[in-house]
Structure 1
Amino acid sequence: MSGVLVAVLSLLALVVVVWAVVLVARDRRVGRATLVALGVLEVAVLAVAVDGFAALASGTRPVETATSVAYLVVAPFVVPAGTFWALADRSRPSTLVLAVAAFAVIVIAYRAFLLFAVTK
Structure 2
Amino acid sequence: MTAALVTTVSALALLVAAWTGLTAARDRRVGRAHLVGLAVVEAVLLVLVVVLAADALDGTRPVELVTSLAYLALSPFVLPAAALWSLADRSRYSTLVLTVACLGLAVVAYRMLLLWQVQR
Q: Distance in 2 between matches of 1:33 and 1:16?
A: 10
Where do 4+ consecutive residues of structure 1 move more than 3 Å? none
Match of 1:2 in 2: 2
Match of 2:52 in 1: 52
Matched to 1:91, the amino acid is: S
Q: Distance in 2 between matches of 1:105 and 1:48?
A: 12
Query: Any idea what SS the aligned residue of 2:47 has?
Result: helix
CA displacement, residues 11-54 of structure 1 (integer Å, 9 cap, x when unaligned): 00001100011110111111111110011011011111111101
Q: Distance in 1 between matches of 2:108 and 2:91?
A: 27
Let me know the Cα RMSD of the aligned residues: 0.9
Matched to 1:115, the amino acid is: L
**1:35-114 to 2 correspondence within 5 Å?**
35-114=35-114
Percent same amino acid at aligned positions? 52
Q: Distance in 2 between matches of 1:37 and 1:109?
A: 17
Q: Distance in 2 between matches of 1:101 and 1:52?
A: 21
TM-score, L = length of structure 2 = 0.97
Structure 1: any 5+ residue segments left out of the alignment? none
CA displacement, residues 88-118 of structure 1 (integer Å, 9 cap, x when unaligned): 0010011100011101111111111100000
Match of 1:24 in 2: 24
TM-score, L = length of structure 1 = 0.97
Q: Distance in 2 between matches of 1:101 and 1:13?
A: 9
Matched to 1:56, the amino acid is: A
Query: Any idea what SS the aligned residue of 1:39 has?
Result: helix
Q: Distance in 1 between matches of 2:24 and 2:30?
A: 10
What is the deviation of 1:70? 0.3
